[in-house]
Amino acid sequence: MIHGKLPGLIRPGRMDSELLIPFEADDVLQNHSLIQHLTLAAKDAALLQGVLMRTKEEPSSSETICFAPITLFPSPVPKNLFDQACEAQQDFNVLIDRISMDPEFLKKALASTIKADEFTARLFNIYNQVLEEGITQSITLGINRSDYMFDKKHDQSACLKQIEINTIAASFAGLAAKVPVVHRHVMHVWGKPEEAAKIQSNSAAKEICKGIAKAWELYGSPEAVVLFLVERVSRNIFDQRCLEMELWDKNIRVIRRHFIEIYERGTLDDNKRLHVDGYEVAIAYFRSGYSPDDYHSEECWAARLLIERSLAIKCPNIGTHLVGTKKVQQELVHSGVLENYLPEYPKAVERIRATFAGLYSIDEGPEGDEIIAKAMENPEAYVLKPQREGGGNNIFGEEIRQVLGGIKDGSKRSAYILMDRINPKAVKNYLLQSGTALKLSECIPELGMFGVYIRSCNRLVMNICAGHLLRTKSTEFADGGVSAGVAVLDTPYFI
């Protein structure tokens, strides 16, 4: 169901943009003794609740850990925009799935990009090979996250604008589900029980694992395992462990392997079942594979191909991975594209289109030349995006001029797209990061909405909005996520 209201959601009421919540007041934010007291409570609660990361100094060891970066206070989020994002997530799930099954669209959309971007070309080569050999697995599991900012309109009200769709390794569901408990505790320590009661729980980890468990069940082999494809070094291991433990509690065995280990010890049997170290793999869940750095040798690429050729349910499969490229997202803004994929759901088309910011191709030709000229003249109005995931890759301001100046006369420009820069209203908060001095910051929140869907043959078995992620960063930084040390985990406080 993607037409109507999602079950269990409260419809948005009146939003008063002038509403002052207690932790926005200057006398609170400047009260040094209160802030120090609440900061200690927040850090201890984060450690107690398992809001954890490995340290920068020892990123491969759990012997020394720290609290994951968080805000001291939850950040104000318009309830109507949160509900809008949640409602649209089911629509995006269907859209992503249907595009992933359309090789002609993907080939046309990415034709120029694969000539300019080697990483996308390598992924596309795997996609082509899998298509030529034939799709082995009719069950698809998608775990994605659609990220938004709250764009400030001329009348100072806010509207929801999509930053990107993440179709591979959408992270932080595990830790995000724990942060509301921390912020409730901060409110209680401060003596604000009414405010504490307004902080809603976040079931992202449980909902995502319901999807993984359902797909595992559909695979139909009780002894088969869920394989987490992971990075060689992962500071964010505890986020992954949250999901692992949920699956273990459902009596589903989880194994963790790197690409090189799949190459060295993975095999396909006569029925193309994937076996790793003696385990049959029901689901290959990618928590790596989105960056060129994850493929540090040809053997890693061979491992990715082996997985894609197998009977294991891939999350995502290679087609769905390609749907998450910036170029495909840019193609969706063209007239008629959404209608083509969702012809029976006109309301879904409206909901999706309402979230789009301006996205522009800079491929060679008059249209690309025109938008490049506009960006060179006014770079502050745009963001230049390469075909990369993981945060910290986007290009802003004067650097846009420098990059475009170097590529505007060649085919390499097809490795990028341009997007209108979103202008959100800043909020004040304290960003708690291990080893960093406490200071009051002007901050920008970014809302991510998780989606889970399962398709078996051509039937949608599951389609849900599976919780959320709120990340906040200082206005000092234009780009970068939690793992990059820029953004911190946050909780919505509805206004």
Of 273, 287, 304, 385, which one is the catalytic site residue?
385
476 is catalytic: no
Angle, helices 398-407 vs 366-377, to 10°: value is 150
Which is nearest to 53 in space by CA: 307, 320, 276, 234?
A: 234
CA distances from 309 to 11, 130, 322 (A): 44, 6, 16
Please tell me which residue in 43, 54, 145, 184 is annotated as part of the active site.
145
Q: Is 390 a catalytic residue?
A: yes
* 79: amino acid identity, one letter: K
- Which of 171, 234, 236, 288 is catalytic? The answer is 171
Degrees to nearest 5, angle at CA 444 with 441 and 446? 140
CA 260 to chain centre: 25
Q: Exposed/middle/buried for 18, CB within 10 Å: 0-12, 13-18, 19+?
A: exposed
Active-site residue (options: 142, 390, 391, 451): 390
Catalytic residue, chosen from 164, 207, 231, 244, is 164
Q: Is 305 exposed, middle or buried (0-12, 13-18, 19+ CB in 10 A)?
A: middle
Q: Which of 253, 249, 205, 246 is nearest to 226 (CA)?
A: 253
Q: Which of 93, 166, 414, 483 is catalytic?
A: 166
Beta-strand pair 274-276/70-71: unpaired
Q: Confirm if 283 and 227 have CB atoms less than 8 A apart.
A: yes
Given 310, 389, 413, 451, the catalytic residue: 389
d(CA 478, CA 486): 9
Buried b (16+ CB within 10 A) or exposed e, 250-269: eebbbebbbbbbbbeebebe
Q: Is 80 a catalytic residue?
A: no
* Residue 474 to residue 426: CA distance in whole angstroms: 9
What DSSP state is assigned to residue 364? S
Is 256 assigned a catalytic role? no
Catalytic (active site) residue 166: yes
Q: H or E stretch including 151?
A: strand 139-152
* b/e map 221-242, b = 16+ CB within 10 Å: eeebbbbbbbbeebbbbbbbbb
Return the H-helix or E-strand segment holding 465: strand 459-474
Rounded CA separation 52/242 (Å)? 11
Are 94 and 345 within 8 A, CB to CB?
yes
Per the rule left: phi > 0, alpha: psi between -120 and 50, beta: everything else, 130 is alpha
357 Cβ neighbours under 8 A, 6+ residues apart: 151, 161, 162, 163, 419, 420, 422
Annotated active-site residue in 54, 235, 309, 326: 326
Active site residue 389: yes
Residue 309 falls in the annotated catalytic set = no
- Rounded Cα distance, 238 and 227, in Å: 16
Is 108 designated active site?
no
Q: Active-site residue among 93, 471, 473, 481?
A: 471
Is 408 known to be catalytic?
A: no
Residues acting as catalytic residues:
145, 164, 166, 171, 326, 385, 389-390, 471
